[in-house]
A and B are shown apart, each in its own frame.
Chain A
Amino acid sequence: MKKVNRRTWLSGAATAAVAIAQTATGKAVQVGVPIEQFWADDPTKQPGGAPPGIPPGQVGTRSPFEKLVKSPSDISSRTPLQDLHGILTPSDLHFERHHNGVPAIDPAKHELLIHGMVDKPLVFTLADLKRFPSVSRIAFLECSGNFRTGKETLSPQDICGLTSQSEWTGVSLATLFREVGIKPGARWFLAEGGDAALMTRSIPVQKGWDDAIVAYAQNGEALRPEQGYPVRLFLPGWEGNTSVKWLRRLELGDAPWQTREETSKYTEAVGEGKIRQFSFDIDARSIITFPAYPAPVQRGWIEIRGLAWSGRGTVERVEVSTDAGKSWQVATLQQPVLDKAHTRFRLLWHWNGDETEIMSRAIDSTGYVQPTYRQLLDARGGNSGYHMNPITAWQIKRDGRVLHRPETR
């Protein structure tokens, strides 16, 4: 029974219903319940009861009870992987990385120039691009600098939130290549963005013929500004920086341009003083997104859930260990398992309350097995930074806390 205060008791107006209530002296009486109080308790009694400040109709809005946010910095923002389900990233939660801000581009004024070693240098408006036969594919996009470790209080978002997945729609770059006529000697092309950094990357022409997309849509709608509105390059399976956003120019040539991004950035130390360049492919990786910091767990049945992906093909298998890597079990893969795509995996586990570590490793269709941090450092002999894809472990404490296990040499 509900306790009512004297003011409510005395007020006869605007009652929505009658209820049994208890007075201050403990006597049960019939009272009128004020409208606000009644609706606040039971949404089924409020027709069209959208929360205040949420307009109906024009644009769907996430429930105010859901606190999904990207974690932003001056130069990037990270997807809350631990809060998502399935394989698609809501467009507004797709990670972003930019090199001098997100430009405001009027699509009516934006054009794409393709020139260099071509038969006919051509300029395409956005409307022109949309007239061509379109393609769509679901694939992940990951920044090659997508790795953090070093303290226990890191969430999947902190550790590898620079990966996201969308359905990308646009025109095949191969279609545009045919339209301008690529000269036989062309081996590379330069992709240039229309942002304040005029981002440029050199890309082998073969990738353009294989599966590159000049994309204007993401998850059914126009690209979000942070994703390159109105048009971007999308290179499935390749490090995110090569998928140049706000694309304004493609130049065909016989050699790479050696731009700042492919020389002083996005290259990695690989031992003996050597620096690896043009490392485009994203190697296979996985991460358990539940249980994961910061959400605690309770003993009993736990569905271990996570994401796995490979830039070299499909996820063949994901193995999960619940005993700190001593033994591994094969997880269930959620269908569809797509090429160069985030794949959801699951494993049911009964936790008896003992302290342990859980971790996952992805095996892709090329036979590559996701390595440990130590294996990566041994192979590269240096502090690499880019293309780090190690197995990530979560410590399960006796009290149910879940903490990242920092990687150490």
Chain B
Amino acid sequence: MSKTKLLQGNDACAEGALYAGCRFFAGYPITPSTEVAEFMSKELPKVGGHFIQMEDEIAAMGAVIGGSLAGAKSLTATSGPGFSLKQESLGYAMLTEVPCVVLNVMRGGPSTGVPTGPGQSDIMQCKWGTHGDHPVICLTPGYVQEIFDETIRAFNLSEKYRTPVIIAYDEIVGHMRERVEIPDAGVIPVIDRTKPPKGLDKYLPYDDTKGDVPPMANFFEGYRYHVTGLNHAPDGFPVNASPRIQTDEERLIRKVDGNRKDICKNETYKLEDAEIAIFAYGSTARGAKDAIDAARAEGIKVGLFRPLTIWPFPDEAVAEVAKKVKTIIVPELSLGQIILEVQRVSAGQCKIEGIFRVDGDPIYPAQILAKIKEVK
């Protein structure tokens, strides 16, 4: 029997993590993400998992990678300033291909910014926050039920592709309470990392001869291998100045980019006959739906494109939209970040208009409706 609960977004994330088999959480408190840590600290001991509040976000990110290597599906949750602190080790997890999930509940910034207000201005940090060339998977749920579902998907993607997965949603959906259905265990499929067969003479943790995602052994399971943040050979040991560095980094990007069909997910709303499209995610997409209904009532043909996977960016799907509409409106809780991607992929085929807001308030449907009327 599935359970129905009234949950806050952050609690739904924690519920989703537990459903997906997360058994380790390391974190450091920061508004507006802290409820996730609080929930996990309460629930993990009950299910044989472990919770630890570390001394800072840098430590939390390191612990999560260690926990995952030791065999536990691992989660950390944070917001703007804490997300910045996690970046070095987030890149480490990308290069070393350690699955884990990092939640960033977005607030205003830069710096301490607006701790209790919503923001979407970390969306580029999600993509480019760490150094070097690397793949990123980032999910952007906008409803509490969706946070539950997408958290499970985040763990599944991270295990399947052996890579960290970021979940980014704004404070509004993080703190909003909605009805959530939690199915019985097993109803939603849960993916675990593929392990190498037992008894190999030699286990190569980064062997790409059989595919872009090499099987991953956990520590203490008999294959004593080496993990390093240095560029490495298939056996995990450092290599310097070798063509292998380039082919390996290209593989990392390919294992995400080459599987866009599996990773990318989006929703459209009344977009089929639209002349104006709205590109929005998270709380702004919710406001956009109301504005669309109001505009449609006045006979304006407008629809929504809502990405649930924002990285990799839905290039082809947005390019299709750009071909069909006159204008794409991009409401954002930033001074213009994701609009740059919309501009890039629409390549001049339609007009692009932004609605930017960073004063700690949401973008209201009325604001979006006014813009729709303006561009009509």
A binds B: no
A interface list, Cβ under 8 A from B: none
